[in-house]
Amino acid sequence: MDTILVRGNGPLNGEIPIAGAKNACLTLMPATLLTDQPLTLTNAPRLSDIRTMTALLGSLGAEVASLQDGQVLALSSHDLTSHTADYDIVRKMRASILVLGPMLARDGHAIVSLPGGCAIGARPVDLHLRALQAMGADLDLREGYVHAKAPAGGLRGAVIEFPIVSVGATENALMAATLARGTTVLKNAAREPEIVDLAHCLRRMGARIDGEGTSTITIEGVDRLGGATHPVVTDRIELGTYMLAPAICGGTVTCLGGRIDLVHAFSEKLDEAGISVTEDARGLTVSRKNGRIRAVDVVTEPFPGFPTDLQAQMMALMCTAEGVSDLEETIFENRFMHAPELARMGARIDVHGGHARVSGVDRLKGAPVMATDLRASVSLILAGLAAEGETVVSRVYHLDRGYEKVVRKLRGVGADIERIKEAPTHD
């Protein structure tokens, strides 16, 4: 397995291009299953998760052509040859569950493996299933698979109130509702920019949707959807991650394509900590004002609150802040696995339940550390950028799921970072 070597190398200066959003692309791609017309996605990110979704859609008989070095995805599911999403693909990526709603809506049946848990939590899919049942689907759970059937006349519109905000369940229900007979109202719906992006794409395909970005989304079902060409929205989590590079190391970095509306709550916390964030037509420019940054408290919440996917990265910043910060993780039950790894670098972090209290130290020290999940992996790299000495991050396959060309992007602003390819093992 490859490792990444990082050495603290002083302030960072320059520009970092921000890619299309992984979590938007992973719900836009299954939307091809809603129509027999071609769907083209531009500004697509080059990530292993996208390749996994491509393989899953391919296993169903959909065609996915990766063009222009992976930045354009040309999808077509004119003739599906299978309606079964196998466990061996689904277990690698939970977003695979997002093929269930579209297949059920268009073809009336689907068999999808339950995704199982993952490092950050149990992550059930009960809210996805309950939403589809409310639309008339008959679901039978057998041997780890959901066997789903729509009523003879197809899914029916329904009023669905989510007991908790769920991005994926909102996406599955939204896609299914576009072809259901009648009106569907999603209450307590997720408001993430990725939901808004999906609604924009579905509308281009002919769907009738109102209210995306608010807690109540109303969908009038139509008989069929057409094709479309849609640009994937900027990745707000990659954006926030790279905004933290100059915040931790000093210097001034412009994140090209960044938009403040995508990271408003996060930017407010950076401002509170003493980091300057300005916006212009090219993107967001972040610079660290003089002196030490201040410790700030953070509570993760559904959008528009502080994103859980930036909690680990923010913790890396707080490790050398002046004072004590309290980071409260309210979305997932086990999302502090980066804390003991940061502690190996000299961070002082006390984890109790959903709270991590970070007492800032002057400077971290480089050490061998292990990535445990996608966002934890990049928080260790951020910490290493400012640490004294050398940090070696192992299990960087986690990183490849959500960050394209991370070494090149950081070297481009002066970071001392390199990827060490694992030597091939000879029998």
Residue of closest CB approach to ligand EPZ: 168
Interatomic CA distance for residues 87 and 113, integer angstroms: 5
Q: How many residues bind ligand EPZ (CB under 6 A)?
A: 23
Cα distances from 173 to residues 25, 156, 167, 178, 292, in angstroms, run: 17, 12, 10, 9, 46
Could you tell me which residues are beta bridge partners of residue 335?
Answer: none
Residue among 89, 164, 90 at smallest CA distance from 330: 164
Which residue number, 168 or 414, has a Cβ lying nearer to ligand EPZ?
168
Among 167, 173, 296, 315, binds ligand EPZ (CB under 6 A): 167
From 386, 393, 385, 390, select the one nearest 419 (Cα to Cα): 393
Shortest distance in whole angstroms from residue 302 CB to ligand EPZ: 7
Round to whole Å and give the CA distance between 191 and 170: 9
Burial class (CB in 10 A: 0-12, 13-18, 19+), 227: middle
The binder of ligand EPZ chosen from 309, 329, 341, 404 (CB under 6 A): 309
Q: Which of 92, 101, 93, 113 is nearest to 150 (CA)?
A: 101
Closer to ligand EPZ by Cβ: residue 129 or 319: 129
Closer residue to ligand EPZ, CB minimum distance, 45 or 402 = 402
166 forms part of the interface with ligand EPZ (CB under 6 A): yes
Cα–Cα distance measured from residue 279 to residue 141, given in angstroms and rounded to the nearest whole number = 49
Which residue, 167, 184, 185, is CA-closest to 127?
A: 167
Window 171-210: contact mask with ligand EPZ (x via CB under 6 A): ----------------------------------------
Nearest-10 Cα torsion for 98, 234, 241, 403:
60
- By CB under 6 A, is residue 341 in contact with ligand EPZ? no
Find the catalytic residue in 118, 201, 255, 319: 118
- Alpha-carbon distance of 1 to 44, in angstroms, equals 26
Question: Is 201 a known active-site residue?
Answer: no
Q: Write the CA distances from 313 to 57, 123, 148, 308, 381, integer angstroms.
A: 32, 21, 39, 10, 9
Question: Residue 379, interface with ligand EPZ (CB under 6 A)?
Answer: no
Q: Is 159 in the site for ligand EPZ (CB under 6 A)?
A: no
From the list 167-175, 282-290, 353-361, 419-427, the region that binds ligand EPZ by CB under 6 A is 167-175
Applying CB under 6 A, among 218, 308, 311, 372 the residue interacting with ligand EPZ is 308
Q: Report, in Å, the least distance between residue 303 CB and ligand EPZ.
A: 7
Asked if residue 313 binds ligand EPZ (CB under 6 A), the reply is no
- Applying CB under 6 A, among 12, 16, 19, 26 the residue interacting with ligand EPZ is 26
From residue 5 to residue 24, what is the string marking binding to ligand EPZ with x (rule CB under 6 A)?
------------------x-
- Mask 99-138, x = binds ligand EPZ (CB under 6 A)? ----------------------x-xxxxxx----------
Q: Nearest approach, Cβ of 161 to ligand EPZ (angstroms)?
A: 14
Within 10 A of 87 (CB to CB), how many other CB atoms are there?
A: 17
CA separation for the pair 276, 287 (Å, rounded) = 5
Looking at beta carbons only, is 26 or 110 nearer to ligand EPZ? Answer: 26
Binding to ligand EPZ (CB under 6 A) within 395-414 occurs at: 402
Q: CB under 8 Å to 376, separation ≥6 — which residues?
A: 312, 337, 338, 341, 398
Range in contact with ligand EPZ (rule: CB under 6 A) among 161-169, 173-181, 206-214, 320-328: 161-169
Alpha carbons within 13 A on the beta-carbon side of 165: 21
Distance CA 422, CA 427 (A): 15
Residue 245: which of 6, 5, 4 has the closest Cα? 6
Smallest distance, Å, CB 194 to ligand EPZ?
6
Q: Per CB under 6 A, does 47 bind ligand EPZ?
A: no
Cis preceding-peptide flag for 45 (omega within 30 of 0)? no
Give least dist CB 424 to ligand EPZ, A. 30
Contacts of 259 (CB under 8 A, 6+ apart): 234, 239, 279, 283, 284
User: At closest approach, how far in Å is the CB of 24 from ligand EPZ?
Assistant: 8
Minimum Å distance from CB 86 to ligand EPZ?
19
Shortest Å distance, C-beta 380 to ligand EPZ: 15
Q: Which residues are tagged catalytic?
A: 118
Chain positions contacting ligand EPZ, by CB under 6 A: 23, 26, 94-95, 121, 123-128, 164, 166-169, 308-309, 331-332, 374-375, 402
